[in-house]
Each structure stands twice: as C-alpha cells, then as structure tokens.
Amino acid sequence: MHTLLNMKLTSIALVAITAAVAACSTPSSAPMLPVRGSMDTMKAILYREYGPPDVLRLEDTEKPQLEDDRVLLKVRAAAANPLDWHYMRGTPYVARIGMGLRRPKDPRLGSDASGVVVAVGKNVTDFKPGDEVFGIVGGAYAEYARAYPKNIVVKPANVSFEQAAAVPVAAITALQALRNRGRLQPGQKVLINGASGGVGTFAVQIAKSFGAEVTGVCSTRNVDMVRSIGADHVIDYTRQNFTEGTQRYDVILDTVGNHSLSAFRRVMTPKGIYVGIGGGGPNDGGFLGPLWRPIRMVAYSPFVRQQFGTFISSVTKEDLTVLKELLETRKVTPVIDRAYTLPEVPAAIRYLEEGHARGKVIITVEDIDRT
C-alpha cells in the first residue's frame, strides 16, 4: 500500500507539477512586444499562439532587464528539448492552466543555454561579467537571456558552448532517473530504452560512470553510436523485441513508453525498478497526454513486486556541478546530432518532433546582422 500511495502521489504531483512548471515560466512583466532595432533590442524566437513550429517567429524584442538576483547572458548556444514542443503546442492541455488557457502567457521558448555573462545583479556574488556558463535560462532562443545563479554553473574549458548547451535538461533527467529513482548500483544491469536520444545518450554514459552494465535500445542506424558511447550491449529494436528476451534488468530507464508495463515487467529482476520519463509524440495530445502512463502505473503497481515510477526532473546547482565534473573528466561527452541557427529554430523543433534525433539538437546563436 505504501507503494500505491507513492504512485498516487507521483501521479497527482505530475499533473500539479506540469501546471506549476508552466506557471513558473510565465513572465513577471507584460508580454514582450515587437520593437524596432536599437541597442536595447535583440533577436528572439517568440510564439504568440499554440500550434506547430510555424507559430515560431524571429522577432526584434526588448533585451531582458537585469534584476538584482539574476545574471544576464549573451547566449552562445541553446538546445532543443521535447519540452519545447509541449510548450509550443500547449500540450498536454492540462498544462495550459499554468501556461495560458487560450494563448501562451510567455512568448519566449527554450531553456537550455550556454553563454557569456554580460551583467550581474547587485545581489549576485558568484558570477562576474566574462564568465562562460551553462544551465537553465528563461527564453534560450534569443541573443540574450536571464538566469538565476542557482541554475547555472561555469562551463568547463574542455567543452564547446554547443556541447555545454546540450547538457542541462537531458543530462539532469538522465542523472536523476538513474541515481535518485533507479537507485542504480555498480555491477547492476540497466536497460535504456531510447538510448540514442537526447536523454538516452547521456543515460548510457552516466550509467557507465556508475559502474553499471548497460544495454541500450535503438534502431539499426544508431547501433554503432550507442556502442561507441559505452553501452556494453545494444539491441536493435527493428530486429529484436527486448521484452521477449531472456535477460533480466535491475533498472529500466524508459524514454519511449512503447511497451506495456507488463511487457517491461517480464524482463525485470524480482526487485527491479522501472523509471518511465516520457513518451508520446506531438500528435498524442489530449487533456493529459503522456500523463496517462503514470496513472496506469498507479493501477498496476500494487499487484507486482517490482517498482514502477515516474518523475519530472528538477535542475539543481548540485546536479549541474556533478555534470560539470563528468564533462571535465570526459566520462560524459554530449552527442550532438545537428546544429541550427536562431532563425532556423522552427526547422530544429520540426526535426525534433519527428522523434528520431540522434543525441541533441543544438541552436548556435550568432550575432545577427541588423543592417
């Protein structure tokens, strides 16, 4: 019953957090208006209605105002996440409670960024202009963005701005899923379903750094890449259904959600832990969308010995620091699929929505010619 209660709470929390996350991202000031070019303006990708990537527009807008407890970054690179198309499409619909019922309250998009600090608020003591940093910002698809100091860390010298921008959401999710939820131990067998994606490519490397035996699941074209980043075993899902195999896993990290919970259970050890973090594509909207799966877990968990859980990752300075160290020691190297420019963000999101990114999709933010 304890498990049941936990699962129920997780499920309720998911709905609440989805709305809360959306609420947190809303601007404290009035919606950003298009402005004519000047020193106080910048280029940014903005969206003023929900819909497909065509709703994203490159506009001239006001540079973010510096606040006492924040830093202002010149963005050098950003990374796309499925979260972006959830915001852009306003799905699942329950999230609109926080994001804006009829149209987005906050027209900015993007959360992962790297860049150079250009100004710090008067209460900020741990960063100074010129610092090269990466982390979570408000509106990463822009020439400038603001960040709270607790959401950024100094970029290691051995990684590029593009590599650093790839890290925050995907790598923190992989880390927290394996360490906090999966409680992965050295020598344990872990299966990563979706090993070639944004979260999966970090999960393979982080699991290896924990000393686990890693099996990655991906399609034929990604088998060599997943092996090259450290997977001990790779299953090509176009040729083999791992849920029908004889191997048993202590931890399963599922980024795809394409098998039933009972199918996953078949390949779990008696005390195995399943961590499902998402799944579903842009056309699987609905009121709850991917949140249906946690609800199924609530119904399923009381009847089985294994643990089935989900969660929404949260960025912490501590975990950004853990990842910074994994980058510095080269235990983790971001896998970058392709890089787009700021005006090409709609194309980047369109590509991500296809569901077959190979590692991370990056946006390189150059100075845009204003003449």
Ligand X SMILES: NC(=O)c1ccc[n+]([C@@H]2O[C@H](COP(=O)([O-])OP(=O)(O)OC[C@H]3O[C@@H](n4cnc5c(N)ncnc54)[C@H](OP(=O)(O)O)[C@@H]3O)[C@@H](O)[C@H]2O)c1
269 touches ligand X by CB under 6 A: no
How many CB atoms within 10 Å of residue 169? 23
- Number of H helices and E strands in the chain, helices first, is 11, 15
Q: Give ∠ CA 273-276-279 in degrees, rounded to 5.
A: 160
Q: Is 312 in the site for ligand X (CB under 6 A)?
A: yes
25 binds ligand X (CB under 6 A): no
Can residue 26 be called a binding residue for ligand X (CB under 6 A)? Answer: no
313 binds ligand X (CB under 6 A): yes
Q: Cα(304)–Cα(351) distance, rounded to whole angstroms?
A: 38
- State yes or no: residue 349 binds ligand X (CB under 6 A): no
* Cβ 31 to ligand X shortest distance, Å: 26
| Residues 176-205 within binding reach of ligand X (CB under 6 A) | 193-194, 196-200
Do 209 and 332 touch, CB atoms closer than 8 A? Answer: yes
The Cα 153–Cα 118 span in angstroms is 15
Single residue of 215, 255, 301, 306 touching ligand X by CB under 6 A = 255
**C-alpha distances in Å from residue 281, one per residue of 4, 9, 200:** 28, 25, 16
Q: What does 161-193 look like in DSSP terms, one character per residue?
A: HHHHHTSHHHHHHHHIIIIIIS---TT-EEEEE
217 binds ligand X (CB under 6 A): yes
Residue 223 CA from chain centroid, whole number? 22
Q: Which is nearer to ligand X, 268 or 291 (CB)?
A: 291
Return the range that interacts with ligand X (CB under 6 A); candidates 137-145, 179-187, 212-220, 266-274. Answer: 212-220
41 belongs to the binding site for ligand X (CB under 6 A):
no
- Compute the least distance from the CB of residue 12 to ligand X, in Å: 15
Please report whether residue 81 would count as binding ligand X according to CB under 6 A: yes
List b or e across 200-233, with b for residues whose CB sees 16 or more CB atoms inside 10 angstroms.
Answer: bbbbbbbbbbbebbbbbbbeeebbebbbebbbee
Please tell me the count of residues contacting ligand X according to CB under 6 A: 30
Using the rule CB under 6 A, give the single segment among 15-23, 95-103, 113-121, 167-175 that binds ligand X. 167-175
90 binds ligand X (CB under 6 A): no
Interaction site with ligand X (CB under 6 A): 81-82, 169-170, 173, 193-194, 196-200, 217-219, 222, 237, 255-256, 258, 277-279, 312-313, 352, 355-358
